[in-house]
Amino acid sequence: MTQRALSGLRVLDLSRVLAGPFCTQILGDLGAEILKIEKPGEGDDTRKWGPPYLKDAQGHDTHESAYYLSCNRNKRSVAIDIKHPQGQKLIHKLIAQSDVLIENFKVGGLEKYGLAYSQIKDEFPRLIYCSITGFGQNGPLASEPGYDFLAQGMAGLMAATGPADGRPTKAGVAVSDIFTGLYAAIGILAALNHRDKTGQGQHVDVALLDCTLATMTNIAQYYLTSRQLAPRVGNAHSTIVPYQDYPTRDSHIIIAVGNDPQFERFATHLGHAEWAQDPRFIHNQNRVQNRDALNALITPILKTKTTQQWIDGLYAIDVPCGPVQNMKDVFGMAQIAARAMKITLPHQKAPQPIDLVGSPLKLSQTPVSYERAPPTLGADTEDVLSAKLGLDPVQLKALKEQGVIG
């Protein structure tokens, strides 16, 4: 079996919803053992965030929503009630055998359970403890609850998104959660590298607001450089032209001209080589200043052919372009199949293997692998507590009867 990059690493996952689970799914794909701690009888909130839900053999809805399935593969579900003193003891014993703990409770939310970083760092000095919150561990908003939608609005993403003359718009998916999950994974890996050198664990503190602002890149720097706000330009680009979608005879095409030579080839292909010498359009800065005039020339021409006809011609002359696709189109692409971006895994509640989105990480020596479909609630509780903590059937039965485990 091929060695996996994070084989031998154990992660105790006390997070739920999206940012934390997205992070731990990445780590799980890379080989880490992920123990997903869930509340008995309830589990991760997203299990109920449907429809759609996974169907069982009789065609009935299960408690596995598409949302939950999207970010919980390669994990084991261990149902432990951390509000119960016995549950807290079990968590402490699992921490002693873990490399990483990740949580997304409100700041201070784990103190009452004896599981805050300040309470356990001396007992477990090698532990990497990652906290995901809306606003971070310090600052005037630290105690406030944080959600993806709030982060998109407060970090400037919504103000930069949407039609120029329309309302500010959030992204179609919870990108602030996704950004934060990615940064959390990076922070954890950096902390593990530091531990390998020094033997010391540390606290990784990531916030939705911070991570969303960090991803605003050129839009944020536009303001810092000029003290002016970048204009909201819908599907266009604030500082590159032409770089947007245009209507064609049958749908829409994205034109993404990134430099002057590409523009010259594009203009020539449209039958107007003179545009590349026009003082209004000769360089990108001129095209940005004369965006409306150029678009008025481009738009009627692109409407004369189908999207595919334009793509075929523009690909041939190395002008970046592409169609606007829905998910059915995306998963029908030969490119997506070639990149193994749709995978299938057997699931204990489904009559057939289920489809999932694959990992975008392609490592030549330590490739990702897919060992487990997203687990049902508490599916691995007894196995994990028996194997890791040596609990026997009598002890497990007693804990279940007390409501400590599920």
Give the residue extent of every domain in the chain. Answer: 10-215+335-401, 243-247+252-323
Contact 159, 170 (CB under 8 A): no
**10-215+335-401 and 243-247+252-323 share one fold:** no
Active site residue 148: no
Indicate the angle between helix axes 393-401 and 381-389, nearest 10 degrees.
Answer: 130
What is residue 276's DSSP assignment?
Answer: G
Cis amide leading into 52 (omega within 30): yes
Other C-beta atoms within 10 Å of 286: how many? Answer: 16
Mean pLDDT by 10 residues, the chain (406 residues): 88 98 98 98 95 93 94 98 97 98 96 97 98 97 96 97 93 97 98 98 98 97 95 91 98 97 98 98 97 98 98 97 97 97 95 96 95 96 97 97 96
- Fold of the CATH domain 10-215+335-401: Rossmann fold (3.40.50)
Active site residue: 13, 44, 177, 210, which one? 177
CA Rg, the chain, in Å? 25
Question: Tell me, what's the pLDDT at 63?
Answer: 84
Q: Which of 25, 76, 103 is nearest to 377 (CA)?
A: 76
| Tokens describing residue 197 | 């050198």
- List the CATH code of the domain at 243-247+252-323: 3.30.1540.10
The pLDDT of residue 1 is 53
Query: What was the pLDDT predicted at 278?
Result: 97
Cβ proximity of 128 and 195 under 8 Å: yes
> What CA–CA distances, in Å, run from 2 to 7, 27, 31, 164, 368?
10, 16, 10, 51, 9
Q: Are 54 and 350 in contact (CB under 8 A)?
A: yes
Q: Is the backbone of residue 187 left (phi > 0), alpha (psi -120 to 50) or beta?
A: alpha
